[in-house]
Amino acid sequence: MTLLLDRPTDEPLLFPDLTWEQFKLMERWLDVPGVRLSFLNDTLEIRRMPGKKHETVKQRLSTLLDAFLEFAEIDHTPTGSMTLENELENVRREADLSYEIESNSETRSLNIPDLAIEIVVTSGGLNKLAAYQKLQIPEVWFWQADRISLHFLKDDRSGYEPILQSRLFPTLDLDLLQECLAIDNHPLAIKTFKQRLKG
């Protein structure tokens, strides 16, 4: 395990051709600080825990989104990076951030979040959208290269379609969100966002 954590790159390690049972056995061995596991279509991904840039963007986005949800009076539960898995679909994934929207009874019955958010600083690894499709997460956001892209699960569950505005939060100003994510000073970013929300 020391070799994994001392790797000079943040690229993930991929181990193909594993059964779900083999993955669950390895999961117990690899339950150590500093490692995040994902599993999709018989492939195990081992990734080091994210660095400062990833965590800074994640915390900022969480703070801004929480401010919007409070302002818009949307009943929600932040579920963080909870582990999502489905043995029948051969998938396990942890989002960087996730949210349940209390008004969505369909996802409540499935015990899955309505929104998963990924902060992408390094490339490579498993296809995250394919994993979320198997988990039936309705909306997925990616922050990458200072931009947010949004994806919504098609009604027939056959895949995601890119969208320009959140279906969950149609009044959220994405341009404002991205602008405040790019401000260097954290308190100023939060203050600016809240002031602009109020008009």
CB atoms < 10 A from the CB of 4, how many? 15
Nearest-angstrom CA–CA distance, 195 and 199:
7
Per cent of the chain over pLDDT 90 is 76
Task: List phi, psi (to 5°) of 137.
Answer: -80, 120
Structure confidence at residue 106 as a pLDDT band (50, 70, 90): low
Residue 124 has pLDDT above 90, yes or no: no
Nearest-angstrom CA–CA distance, 84 and 93:
5
Residue 104 has pLDDT above 90, yes or no: no
Residue 119 in tokens: 């902060």
Nearest-angstrom CA–CA distance, 147 and 106:
30
Q: Does residue 36 come out as left (phi exceeding 0), alpha (psi in the -120 to 50 range) or beta?
A: beta
Chain-wide mean pLDDT for the chain? 90
pLDDT digits (tens, 9 = 90+) for 38-69: 999 999 999 988 888 899 999 999 999 999 99
> What is the layout of strands, in order, in the sheet containing 43-48?
13-15, 43-48, 35-40, 91-94, 83-86
Q: What is the mean predicted confidence (pLDDT) over 141-148?
A: 94
CATH 1.10.1200.10 fits 51-197, yes or no: no
pLDDT digits (tens, 9 = 90+) for 20-35: 999 999 999 898 888 8
Report whether 181 contacts 54 (CB < 8 A).
Answer: no
Q: What is the mean predicted confidence (pLDDT) over 121-132?
A: 91
Q: What is the mean predicted confidence (pLDDT) over 116-123?
A: 91
Predicted confidence at residue 1, as pLDDT, reads 37
Residue ranges per structural domain of the chain: 51-197
